[in-house]
Amino acid sequence: MDDLFGDTDPTLPERDELAPGAVLLRGRALAAQAELLRAVAAVAEAAPFRHMVTPGGFRMSAAMTNCGSAGWVTDRKGYRYAPADPESGRPWPAIPAVFLRLAADAAAEAGYPGFLPDACLVNRYAPGAKLSLHQDRDEADYDHPIVSVSLGLPATFQFGGPKRADPVRRIRLEHGDVVAWGGPSRLFHHGVLTLKDGDHPATGRARINLTLRKAL
Ligand code: MD6
Ligand code: FE
């Protein structure tokens, strides 16, 4: 029943090394998909999705919220981790246990035992939304990996290199895919191409991405 909406291509490997230290585990989140989506809804009830503004003044096309003891935020003052939701002044909701379990298990399978995240950024893409090429470098210690969980509509992930101008590889991320990413490629540039229109049985016209981090 929980695998009802599995979109994993059975001809592709279950495990794919995208770069040194970056491991794609296809379909790894499918077994927990219903619980994960209920938890996303509970987080969004406490801390609603919003479109943040970049330091340069651009409204981000992906809607975002957070859970954990810190949440990633951007505004005219810059990018940072904040202990409270700037919209409400309240602490971010706690990271749901189902997120923590999946993150720790996937990280261990990818070669990162003992991963205990303290922050989770939740991105929601409607058709037409994208995420420009970036590095994740607001965390205190790059020795920890990041675990990313994709749900709903498929996306094309761009995976580059240490320099912004490095060539990018395009990887399709499907509903239920998990990437555990650290080590030598932890600071590689990456982004998400403009989401194509579609209607997914689990999420409707949306893609949800969770990125679990050790931020503090
Ligand atoms: C996304 N993901 O898939 C955006 N960052 O919607 C990220 O930006 C990301 O997947 C760091 C590590 C893994 C990621
Ligand atoms: Fe990122």
Q: How many domains does the chain have?
A: 1
C-alpha span between 48 and 197 (Å, rounded): 23
Instruction: Give the count of beta carbons closer than 10 Å to the beta carbon of residue 2.
Output: 11
Asked if the structure places residue 131 within a domain, the reply is: yes
Asked if the structure places residue 2 within a domain, the reply is: no
Task: Note down the domain range covering 117.
Answer: 15-213
| Per-residue pLDDT at 8 | 85
C-alpha span between 48 and 17 (Å, rounded): 34
| Per-residue pLDDT at 5 | 66
Asked if the structure places residue 1 within a domain, the reply is: no
Structure tokens at 24: 């794609």
> With 60 as the cut, is the pLDDT of residue 4 above it?
no
pLDDT tens digits, residue range 46-78? 999 999 999 999 999 999 999 999 999 999 999
Asked if the structure places residue 86 within a domain, the reply is: yes
Task: Name the residue among 12, 11, 19, 10 with its Cα closest to residue 179.
Answer: 19
> With 70 as the cut, is the pLDDT of residue 1 above it?
no
- Over residues 19-27, the mean pLDDT reads 96
Give distance in angstroms: CA of 167 to centre of ligand 1: 18
pLDDT tens digits, residue range 110-139? 999 999 999 999 999 999 999 999 999 999
CATH number for the domain that contains residue 49: 2.60.120.590
C-alpha span between 180 and 104 (Å, rounded): 10
- Assess whether the C-beta atom of 123 lies below 6 angstroms from ligand 1: yes
Q: How confident is the model at residue 2 (pLDDT cuts 50, 70, 90)?
A: very low
Structure tokens at 62: 């992906």
Asked if the structure places residue 71 within a domain, the reply is: yes
Asked if the structure places residue 187 within a domain, the reply is: yes
- Assess whether the C-beta atom of 181 lies below 6 angstroms from ligand 1: yes
**Residue located nearest, by CA, to atom 1 of ligand 1:** 209
Asked if the structure places residue 5 within a domain, the reply is: no
